[in-house]
Amino acid sequence: MSLLELHSISKTFPGQHALSGVDLEVAAGEIHALVGHNGSGKSTLIKVLSGFHEPDPGSGPALVHGREIRFGDPEGVHAAGIRFIHQDLGLADGLSVLDNLKLGSGLYRTAPGWRIRRRSERADARRRLAALGLEHLDPEDDVGRLGAVERTEVAIARALQDEDQVRVLVLDEPTAALPDREVGRLFALVRRLVAGGVGVIYVSHRLEEVFDLADRVTVLREGVVVHSSPVAAIGRRALARLIAGSDVVAPVRAGALGKDAEGEELLRFGEVWTDGELRGADLAVRAGEVVGVAGLSGSGVHDVPRTLLGGSRVTAGEITVDGTAVGEPGPTALARLGVAVVPAGNHRKRIAGLTVRENLTISDLGPFWSAAHFDHRAERAEARDLLDRFGIRPREPERPIELLSGGNQQKVYVARLLRTRPRLLVLEEPTQGVDVGGSADILRFIVDAARKHGVGVLLCSSDLEDLAGVCQRVLAFRAGRIAAELVGEEATREAIVEECYLAEEGPIHVADR
Amino acid sequence: MSQTADPGVASEGEPKNLTARRHRASLLERFAGPGFLLVMFVVFTALLPDTFPTYNNLIAVVNNQTITAMVALGLLVPLAAGVFDISIGGILTLSVIFSTLMFQATGGDMPVPVVILLTLGIGILAGLFNGLLVVRLGIEPFIVTLGSGSVFIGISQLIANGKVISEHIPTGFTDLGRSEPLGIPAPIIYVVVLAAALGYVFVMTPLGRKIYATGANRDAARLAGVPTDRILYLAFMTSGVCAAAAGLLYAMRIGAGQPEVGGQYLLPAYAAAFLGSTMIKPGRFNVLGLLVGLAIIAVGINGLQLNGIPSWVIPTFQGAALIIAVVLTKVRGRRR
């Protein structure tokens, strides 16, 4: 009998089937890998299991040791012995390891006067850490000063402090923040746990980890289980193909420029190293082409826009615009050079408190200002025109920006910068959290800008649809540098996933600089 | 929050014209403040027909608020840019002491325009100092200006040597604060000019828009190309120079400088600014709203005093106005 059984779990969000009839079984002593691309439903499944989301009616049952657990009941889930380690770990920096272990557990025993029995608690924590093979953790250390792997260990130790009751441990991308050389230590800990009969659900993006660690693997795609088998029964390429799916939408690549794009070179990263994730990244974007940048989180894909916005510091190599080195990149410096960067995350772009009109025009108010007079009428006319051209709904320029849907907000932010007529547009995850129709619109604006106005576009995205759909070239990042360049027809979803997920030979060892 | 409570956040299926109206502030919301002022006016007129609605009383009420108004108008810029400046009381004190001391030290020989320009320069420098700490070192503006304001008061006490400075203040200087061209006290004219200038900047220039954008979301504004660092420097320098101007006005009117003058203007300035942000253009710090807010506080206190209500009412009234303003903002935000 399986330790944990989930039967036909469905979850519908407005306008989206996040999960459709998903089954999952985990046996005692088994490490079960759950893989899938962004938006495949992994997180939703974990959140249903943890009680955060309630599944659609008709889902279930969910059984632990054959006993049914209720949905939407985090305490019941805890009582059934299921523990979660989320990606952000949920630790309180500035508090000690001991305090973090006790946080939320209510397990401090107190002396009269509610005084914490510090010494006996400390000794007890040492004993428990040692039992997990974590004797190198000092209960008095400040969690904020620990390394990434120690932090993960603290989170695991906290999840396991009532170890005799723990049946299933769910690890959600525990290695995303870890350097590769540290992963081995974490694996050793996980293996010790399963040897004791615990079942593990291991969510990961890194396929090599699946093959190193897991016994079974289940692949989710668009909310459906497309594959479930012992790891030994499947190869890496086949697994990558299952994650990617096939190209369902015919690509609308930007124009006829294609491979022989001979537009002038606008942006170049020459062997750029940063204090972020880039380790010798080398790329160029020409006028009129759409270049995709793909990669898993931590691979450097998001460090490209971050570096351009001044969030990561260049430590070696140089960034040039029009062949001239950019000393200190940042939004204002780049805007002057005709480069517009749209970062991910609406909260970083939303100027809440201002209206849609004001959000649209803020990047360039010059056209409305002459002879000490601000032409409000011209501004309103242009705002209305932008709402039409970019299909932003509702068509109300005076609406507070925060009342627009995420997709319409994203259109506002793209329109805001395209309006400044940049020669180069850098977009980070432009369709994240945007519905299908909105995504198609945004991609169309991007392609139009490249095709009709000769704008060079750098599209940093983890969305395969975006990349395979509109890019003439896709650069796959691994370990901070470009591992492969896929040109034109080569840039299929499958090829992109293969290049991003697969290390050629074993884990990549990140050099430090 | 819930959709049923407010059709303004309607789902997409709802008819357009229903949703269109709601997110612009209603007339009631915009003009409740001025309406309240009017009601107070009528009530006090009815209660005190002989003393309250006279020209002399009303002009005195307004004139008494000119120093607060100047401080508050300057404060409006950092508030709109999303940062607190509580050093304005300190800058005002420094300005009072510095200007009067320059006359006293030179036996009244220092030309008046020079003193005025130097004093305003001190205000700008003080603002620059705040700006440097906030922008360069990224320290919380609240903490920076709490500390620097106290430092400015300390410096004032040091250079005043603990004494009231009242010698050799030329009448050419004090007249600037005491004359009444066309029967209107000069300070009122200064305030009107300053208010008009600031109102123009806020509503009619790209700079004003950029200040509001910086205050609404500094990071997003920066990413959209707004030079937020420069805006913050400008904001602190504006509040600094306005506080210095208010200090000059004080010195002109009183004709002397005491080293513990500034503190009393801080609270009413904040109360007026926050009260003002709930009216005319609700949700935004705005000049007209500030003036109405200040009038509500001033008329309220004046009317109560004429009715023989003791002096403890003043701080209570000011503090209550500030809290009510913030509560109004909160309630409005929640209904969204």
What is the per-residue pLDDT across A48-81, written as a single tens digit (0 to 9) for each?
Answer: 999 988 999 988 899 988 889 898 888 889 889 9
Average pLDDT across chain B, whole number: 87
For A168, the enclosing helix (H) or strand (E) is strand A168-172
What's the whole-number mean pLDDT along residues A440-454? 88
CA neighbours closer than 13 Å in the CB half-sphere of residue A146: 26
Q: CB-CB: which of A309, A374, A399 is closest to B204?
A: A374
Q: Which residue has the higher pLDDT, B72 or B321?
A: B72
3-state class (DSSP) for residue A166: coil
* pLDDT on residue B11: 36
State the Cα–Cα distance between residues A185 and A439, nearest whole angstrom. Answer: 41
State the Cα–Cα distance between residues A124 and A121, nearest whole angstrom. Answer: 5
On whether any CB of chain A is under 8 Å from the CB of B196, the answer is: no
On whether any CB of chain B is under 8 Å from the CB of A377, the answer is: no
What's the whole-number mean pLDDT along residues A431-438? 77
* pLDDT on residue A404: 85
Tokens of A8: 């036909």
B interface test, pick of A328, A354, A405, A412 with most B CB neighbours within 10 Å:
A354
Question: Is residue A327 over pLDDT 90?
Answer: no
In 3D, which of A82, A86, A66 has the Cα closest to residue A74? A82
Question: Is residue A507 over pLDDT 60?
Answer: no
Contact B224 A358 (CB under 8 A): no
User: Secondary structure of B65-120 in the HEC alphabet?
Assistant: CHHHHHHHHHHHHHHHCCCCCCCHHHHHHHHHHHHHHHHHHCCCCCCHHHHHHHHH
Q: Which residue in B has a C-alpha nearest to residue A398's C-alpha?
A: B24
Least confident window among A193-202, A231-240, B17-26 = B17-26
* pLDDT on residue B291: 95
Please give the C-alpha separations between residue A124 and each of A66, A83, A109, A151, in angstroms, as whole numbers: 34, 21, 11, 19
State the Cα–Cα distance between residues B96 and A72, nearest whole angstrom. Answer: 65
Taking CA B246 as the corner, what is the angle to CA B244 and CA B252, rounded to the nearest 5 degrees? 105
On whether any CB of chain A is under 8 Å from the CB of B213, the answer is: yes
Question: Is residue B217 over pLDDT 70?
Answer: yes
3-state class (DSSP) for residue A455: coil
Q: Which residue in B has a C-alpha nearest to residue A14's C-alpha?
A: B11
Torsion of CA B171, B177, B183, B188, to 10 degrees: 170
Q: CB-CB: which of A347, A396, A402 is closest to B20?
A: A396
Contact A331 B284 (CB under 8 A): no
Q: Which residue in B has a C-alpha nearest to residue A348's C-alpha?
A: B220
pLDDT in tens, A114-170: 777 788 888 888 988 888 888 888 988 998 888 878 888 898 888 887 777 889 999
Please give the C-alpha separations between residue A402 and each of A57, A399, A450, B336, in angstroms, as whole numbers: 32, 8, 29, 10
> What secondary structure does DSSP assign to A468-495, as a single string?
HHH-SEEEEEETTEEEEEEEGGG--HHH
Report the gap between the CA of A355 and the closest CA in chain B (Å): 10
Report the gap between the CA of B313 and the closest CA in chain A (Å): 35
What's the whole-number mean pLDDT along residues A208-235? 90
Q: What are phi and psi of A26, to 5 degrees?
A: -125, 130
Q: CB-CB: which of A349, A393, A402 is closest to B223?
A: A349
Find out whether A300 and A272 touch, Cβ atoms under 8 Å: no
Contact B216 A354 (CB under 8 A): yes
Question: Is residue A18 over pLDDT 90?
Answer: no
In 3D, which of A18, A4, A13 has the Cα closest to residue A60? A4
Percent of chain B at pLDDT exceeding 90: 60
Percent of chain B at pLDDT exceeding 70: 91
Do strands A31-35 and A82-85 pair parallel, antiparallel, or not at all (unpaired)? unpaired
Question: Is residue B151 over pLDDT 60?
Answer: yes
State the Cα–Cα distance between residues B290 and A80, nearest whole angstrom. Answer: 59
pLDDT in tens, B286-334: 999 999 999 998 998 888 888 888 888 888 888 888 888 888 877 776 6
Contact A353 B217 (CB under 8 A): yes
Contacts of B19 in chain A (CB under 8 A): 394
Find out whether A466 and A459 touch, Cβ atoms under 8 Å: yes
* pLDDT on residue A156: 86
State the Cα–Cα distance between residues B286 and B26, nearest whole angstrom. Answer: 17
Complex ipTM more than 0.85, yes or no = no
Find out whether A201 and A32 touch, Cβ atoms under 8 Å: yes
Label residue B130 by pLDDT band (50, 70, 90).
very high
Highest-scoring range by mean pLDDT, A95-99, A172-176, B19-23, B149-153:
B149-153
pLDDT in tens, B28-46: 788 888 988 999 889 999 9
Q: How many residues does chain B have?
A: 336
On whether any CB of chain B is under 8 Å from the CB of A364, the answer is: yes
In 3D, which of A143, A180, A171 has the Cα closest to residue A35? A171
Label residue A181 by pLDDT band (50, 70, 90).
low
Contact B225 A364 (CB under 8 A): yes
* pLDDT on residue B9: 34
Least confident window among A122-136, A376-390, B97-111, B266-280 = A122-136
Burial of residue B108 (number of CB atoms within 10 Å: 0-12, 13-18, 19+): middle
Report the gap between the CA of B244 and the closest CA in chain A (Å): 27
CA neighbours closer than 13 Å in the CB half-sphere of residue A62: 23
What's the whole-number mean pLDDT along residues A267-278? 92
pLDDT in tens, B224-245: 989 999 999 999 999 999 999 9
Tokens of B286: 């705005």
On whether any CB of chain A is under 8 Å from the CB of B39, the answer is: no
What's the whole-number mean pLDDT along residues A102-125? 77
Contact A362 B226 (CB under 8 A): yes
On whether any CB of chain A is under 8 Å from the CB of B24, the answer is: yes
Contacts of B215 in chain A (CB under 8 A): 353
3-state class (DSSP) for residue A249: coil
Average pLDDT across chain A, whole number: 85
Contacts of B202 (CB under 8 A, 6+ apart): B76, B80, B208, B211, B212, B286, B287
Report the gap between the CA of A237 and the closest CA in chain B (Å): 40
Which residues are paired to A355 by β-bridges? A400
Label residue A192 by pLDDT band (50, 70, 90).
confident
3-state class (DSSP) for residue B222: helix
Please give the C-alpha separations between residue B314 and each of A116, B86, B318, in angstroms, as whole numbers: 48, 20, 6
Contact A353 B19 (CB under 8 A): no
Do strands A290-294 and A339-342 pair parallel, antiparallel, or not at all (unpaired)? unpaired
Residue where the block lists tokens 């040492």? A126
